[in-house]
Chains A and B, each alone.
Chain A
Amino acid sequence: MTTLPRARARAATLVVVGPPDRLVEAADALRDADQAGSYRCVLMSTEPGTVTAVDGSDDLVAVDSIRPEYLNNAIAALRLSSLPTVIWWRGGPPDRLDDVAPLADRVVLDAPDAGPLWRRATTLFARTAMTDVRWARLTRWRAAMAHLFDLPQVRDAVARFTRLTVAGRDEAQCALFGGWLRSSLGGTHQFEASLVGGQAPLERVTLEGPDSAVHLSLLSSGACIGAEVRVEGRTVASRVVAAGDQRLAALLSEELRIRSRDLAFERAVSAVQGAGLPLSVGGL
């Protein structure tokens, strides 16, 4: 029996779309996501197997074998009237995103292959607030980098940064970080992504120029990010910050807390598309 945390008043609808195995994973995450309890949660798949896999529950509505062209009808029928709807897109025919996005107040993308979805997303931004779970994974990394830019030495060096290296397990994740920096700093620094092993989608980031470098790295504990600024070979500032809870449930909770359009994400995705930042191993 799937039980969501603490039965409570429903304040919105969350529709999860994806293949059965990823919906089962979603059901587990929903059980642990502290924000999910106030959502009416609906699992939907165009393939068979979801209903039996999530084991009939009072808290989750599971529907499978929906014909792709009727996904939008099914969502429209099951959402709570007058309250917000969030779609968590964990996979499915990418072209159906065009039909379902207008039904939602917010779409959280979370498919293994980000490329086709991001291409579609850029045309949907004006209609529906969109984000990606990868963006939530970057929150602490972005904050760590942003705080270093409070330092005058780093701000002074912005124009001289020429090279950005992002290393991690997920190339879309690396590209998104690169897109964010490029769209925010407006630079034309060379971008390089390297895939590394390990569990973390992102392992380290280096932004460097001839005389200075900003370096972020996941510490060995995996729970913290070390941040450091070096000028002419000397460390001028360093700090350690929490990497945040990276479990799917925690990332989902973070996303469910936000209702508004995220312009920084939209600009980052557009930069990834526009600059042709690598999104596949072959592109590296």
Chain B
Amino acid sequence: MPADNPLLDNLRIEPTPGATTLVIFGASGDLTRRKLLPAIHSLSRGQRLPARFSVIGIGRTDLGDDGFRQQFRESLREFTKADPGSGDVARALESRLHYVGGDTGDAAMYGRLAARLREVDDHGGVLYYLAVPPAVYGTIIERLGEAGLSGTADAGWRRIIVEKPFGTDLSSARELNALLHRYFDEEQVFRIDHYLGKETVQNLLVFRFANGMFEPVWNRRYIDHVQITAAEIVGVERRAAYYETAGALRDMVQNHLMQLLALVAMEPPTEFSASHVRDRKMDALRSLQPVVLNGEEADVVRAQYSKGWVDGQDVPGYLEEPGVASGSVTETFVALRLGIDSWRWAGVPFYLRTGKRLPKRTTEIAIQFNRPPLEIFRRVSATPLASNLLVINVQPDEGISLRFDAKIPGTRMQVAPVMMNFRYGTTFPGEVPEAYETLLLDAMLGDATLFARHDFVEASWALVTPIHEGWEQARAGSIPPYEAGEWGPSEADALVARDGRRWRTL
């Protein structure tokens, strides 16, 4: 954004990036159609895009500019809510869409891309978006670097967004980071995790560090344990080819759940900036204890859904899903018990669980506080009093709830738990930006706060990879099943029950 634009001062619609060309690799893919093109349109409607903004789509299919524009129209029809003005804005945006066809492995294609970039905007910034299968990340990064497209002193800024999964284990993540750093500085690299673009996740930082009353009790002296749940109703759907190589551990735990854990566990940063926030998250991840894989003290449980009932529907088991290998032992459910070696969290377990075909779609963080040191109401309350509980709902009903005990009105002294609720949708009604809008805009602005840094990715893989390797070694063994529509296997309940606790009822 030019600093000497006097009209941007106090503009309600802000901030707006400087001149940008967005180059999307995988322009005809699902992510581009479902998320990226609608996000660009929405940003344009909200006047969040610069006056000099263009998109260059890259794909194997030779769509041409017209074909790409047609795809843009179809994408908006299918995946956006039309409103007055949408048509005019879309038509104006359309003229800024360009397309370069070719194989991402073909060096000549990058020559054509360079020519198109010069033609579209020779002096602005360029944001590359890798919306392609991870197998071709390396080729694209190398070719961009070799073609001199990763940045030169005389050109505008160059940045690259890399989608998850970022590697498949620690060594592949390291290789990918090394390859990126051969051609791009870390400041140019934006590893996207769309969870971080969600309002509640961002609000977690505000909740913890903009309020004086929570941080003093945010530690082992007051907190009994933390539960992080990311539950999906859906099964593997049409993603079997990918999911068979990933599983729940790589698909959800290594990225989304680790990010949520880090945001809960991190120390307060000294300022709200990308480096400070990411440093503190990194500290939290570094403090994680190694996971015990086997035996009675095992910290991890995996399972796979079998057929059952979800949402009133009879659904097949994982092994009956199209594209799933017969006898597959890919996990669709993972539960973990993690400990953190820090003064703040020593002795406080973090329980994580995620799975497909669970009874409810929900992502939440539940902080359970210690009971009062003396239960003076024991004589009047037949059952033990409920502990205070702070629940941060990430999706779908974004908000925060606090459970505390209250006296039931009447002449008798009776105590019951009540909830105090804050819901985004009711307190701040109105349109909430999609995660991809927030993240695309941040990348154009060069703000990496909501993106994963190379060391965070490697640290999370360092935790997850040994678990996966352990499972690989035991591949001959079976994987525990859980009935679709249940909250995972009994082993997951036992994992928590071993500590005298239980999973929250959702």
| A residues lining the B interface (CB < 8 Å) | 5-6, 8-9, 11, 34-35, 37-38, 139-140, 142-151, 155, 158, 181, 184-186, 219, 221, 223-224, 227, 237, 239-245, 253-254, 257-258, 262-265
For chain B, residues 304 to 363, give those with C-beta under 8 angstroms from any C-beta of chain A.
none
Cross-chain contact A239 with B11 (CB below 8 angstroms): no
Q: Which of B86, B423, B429 contacts A35 (CB 8 A)?
A: B429
* A82→B316 CA distance, assembly (Å): 54
- Most A CB contacts (10 A, CB to CB) among B4, B5, B45 go to B5
B52 at the interface (CB under 8 A from A): yes
B44 at the interface (CB under 8 A from A): yes
B4 / chain A contacts, CB cutoff of 8 Å: 155
* A240→B85 CA distance, assembly (Å): 9
A148 / chain B contacts, CB cutoff of 8 Å: 51
* A40→B110 CA distance, assembly (Å): 59
Minimum-distance CB pairs A-B, first 4:
A264-B10, A240-B92, A223-B85, A146-B7
- Most A CB contacts (10 A, CB to CB) among B11, B16, B18 go to B11
A224 / chain B contacts, CB cutoff of 8 Å: 85, 88-89, 92
* A145→B9 CA distance, assembly (Å): 12
- Most A CB contacts (10 A, CB to CB) among B1, B6, B7, B421 go to B7
Show 26 A/B contacts (Cβ-Cβ < 8 Å), sorted by A. Answer: A35-B428, A37-B426, A38-B429, A140-B47, A143-B11, A146-B5, A146-B7, A149-B5, A150-B1, A150-B16, A150-B18, A221-B84, A223-B88, A224-B89, A227-B51, A237-B51, A237-B52, A239-B92, A241-B44, A241-B45, A241-B92, A242-B45, A242-B46, A242-B86, A242-B89, A245-B84
B155 to chain A, nearest CB (A): 16
Cross-chain contact B85 with A9 (CB below 8 angstroms): no
* A140→B44 CA distance, assembly (Å): 12
A264 / chain B contacts, CB cutoff of 8 Å: 9-11
| Known A150-B52, A240-B92, A242-B89; contact A9-B427, beta-carbon cutoff 8 A | yes
Cross-chain contact A143 with B429 (CB below 8 angstroms): no
How big is chain B's contact interface, by range? 35 or more
A221 / chain B contacts, CB cutoff of 8 Å: 84-85, 87-88
B373 at the interface (CB under 8 A from A): no
**Given A11-B427, A146-B7; 9 other pairs, CB 8 A cutoff:** A5-B429, A9-B421, A140-B13, A147-B51, A150-B51, A219-B88, A223-B88, A242-B89, A254-B12
Q: Which of A38, A144, A146, A242 contacts B427 (CB 8 A)?
A: A38
* A257→B430 CA distance, assembly (Å): 10
* A275→B121 CA distance, assembly (Å): 40
| Known A150-B52, A221-B85; contact A253-B5, beta-carbon cutoff 8 A | no
The residue on A at minimum CB distance from B421 is: A9
Cross-chain contact B7 with A243 (CB below 8 angstroms): no
| Known A8-B426, A35-B429, A38-B429; contact A146-B11, beta-carbon cutoff 8 A | yes
Cross-chain contact A6 with B429 (CB below 8 angstroms): yes
The residue on B at minimum CB distance from A10 is: B427
B418 to chain A, nearest CB (A): 14
B19 at the interface (CB under 8 A from A): yes
B216 at the interface (CB under 8 A from A): no
Cross-chain contact A184 with B6 (CB below 8 angstroms): yes
Cross-chain contact A223 with B19 (CB below 8 angstroms): no
Cross-chain contact B8 with A146 (CB below 8 angstroms): yes
A246 to chain B, nearest CB (A): 10
Cross-chain contact A253 with B11 (CB below 8 angstroms): no
Q: Which of B47, B89, B426 contacts A147 (CB 8 A)?
A: B47
Contact with A along B22-64 (1 / 0, CB 8 A): 0000000000000000000000111100111000000000000
Q: Is the interface of A mostly helix, strand, loop or mixed?
A: mixed
B477 at the interface (CB under 8 A from A): no
Cross-chain contact A35 with B430 (CB below 8 angstroms): yes
B88 / chain A contacts, CB cutoff of 8 Å: 219, 221, 223-224, 240, 242
B475 at the interface (CB under 8 A from A): no
A262 / chain B contacts, CB cutoff of 8 Å: 10
B404 at the interface (CB under 8 A from A): no
- Most B CB contacts (10 A, CB to CB) among A142, A144, A219, A254 go to A142
B10 / chain A contacts, CB cutoff of 8 Å: 262-265
* A8→B424 CA distance, assembly (Å): 11
Q: Which of A6, A149, A240 contacts B91 (CB 8 A)?
A: A240
B2 at the interface (CB under 8 A from A): yes
* A128→B259 CA distance, assembly (Å): 41
B85 / chain A contacts, CB cutoff of 8 Å: 221, 223-224, 242-244
A266 to chain B, nearest CB (A): 9
B52 / chain A contacts, CB cutoff of 8 Å: 150-151, 237
Cross-chain contact A9 with B51 (CB below 8 angstroms): no
A147 / chain B contacts, CB cutoff of 8 Å: 16, 47, 50-51
B426 / chain A contacts, CB cutoff of 8 Å: 6, 8-9, 37-38
B422 at the interface (CB under 8 A from A): yes
B427 to chain A, nearest CB (A): 5
* A146→B6 CA distance, assembly (Å): 8
Cross-chain contact A240 with B89 (CB below 8 angstroms): yes
Cross-chain contact A150 with B9 (CB below 8 angstroms): no
Q: Which of B1, B7, B84, B421 contacts A142 (CB 8 A)?
A: B7
* A186→B18 CA distance, assembly (Å): 23
A30 to chain B, nearest CB (A): 13
Cross-chain contact A239 with B45 (CB below 8 angstroms): no
A249 to chain B, nearest CB (A): 11
* A237→B85 CA distance, assembly (Å): 20
Cross-chain contact A9 with B16 (CB below 8 angstroms): no
Cross-chain contact A155 with B5 (CB below 8 angstroms): yes
A245 to chain B, nearest CB (A): 8
| Known A8-B426, A8-B427, A35-B430; contact A241-B89, beta-carbon cutoff 8 A | yes
The residue on A at minimum CB distance from B90 is: A240
A243 / chain B contacts, CB cutoff of 8 Å: 85
The residue on B at minimum CB distance from A146 is: B7
Cross-chain contact A242 with B51 (CB below 8 angstroms): no
The residue on A at minimum CB distance from B4 is: A155
B12 / chain A contacts, CB cutoff of 8 Å: 139, 142-143, 254, 258
The residue on A at minimum CB distance from B6 is: A184
* A105→B261 CA distance, assembly (Å): 37
Cross-chain contact B430 with A253 (CB below 8 angstroms): yes
* A155→B422 CA distance, assembly (Å): 46
Q: Which of A143, A151, A257 contacts B13 (CB 8 A)?
A: A143
- Most A CB contacts (10 A, CB to CB) among B19, B47, B427, B428 go to B47
B389 to chain A, nearest CB (A): 19
A35 / chain B contacts, CB cutoff of 8 Å: 428-430
| Known A144-B47, A150-B52; contact A139-B427, beta-carbon cutoff 8 A | no
| Known A150-B16, A239-B92, A242-B89; contact A38-B422, beta-carbon cutoff 8 A | no
* A144→B47 CA distance, assembly (Å): 8
* A254→B91 CA distance, assembly (Å): 26
* A5→B430 CA distance, assembly (Å): 11
* A254→B45 CA distance, assembly (Å): 15
